[in-house]
Amino acid sequence: MSRLAEIIVIAHEAEQVMEHLTQPDPEREWTQRFTRVDEGAFMADGSPLHSRHPTLQSERCFMWVVEFTHSTWTGLLAHLESLPWPRPQSVQVLIRDEDDDCFGLWMLYDGRLVEITLPRTSRKPFSDAVHGVLSRTDST
């Protein structure tokens, strides 16, 4: 069954930790790869730093994005928990399943990624979604 899920990982000083997730790996249970977002994405001309200066890599990269087209990412959170984050307090994972009203937020606490309850939201079980469905409970 095809399901879409968008995942954003935000973490400071994590370029080396996340590098392997930007490459193909037949050992992983998912085939999608994260795309690195550096400060070039926020520049006026929109061009990445490395396209103007191929030998330079941004030291300020702190975000990686991926879209999963199937519910094959069930082991992703456990994998992210196992990584040697240089600044674990900065790790934030945003997940939006296709039926979610908004992104859910997970943060590392005591080595575990824990979902942070967002105001005016509710997560309900849904068998087709890895973590259920996140709904807004306000009228907006």
The string of pLDDT tens digits covering residues 55-75 is 555 555 689 999 998 777 778
Q: pLDDT higher for 7 or 42? A: 7
Q: pLDDT above 90 covers what percent of the chain?
A: 58
| Least confident span in 25-29, 46-50, 69-73, 104-108 | 46-50
Identify the pLDDT of residue 69: 83
The answer, yes or no, to whether residue 86 has pLDDT greater than 60, is yes
- Describe the strand order of the beta sheet including 63-70 as a list of residue ranges: 35-37, 63-70, 2-10, 92-97, 104-109, 112-116
pTM of the predicted model as reported, rounded to 2 decimal places:
0.83
Region 45-54: mean pLDDT is 56
The answer, yes or no, to whether residue 135 has pLDDT greater than 70, is yes
Report whether 38 contacts 48 (CB < 8 A).
yes
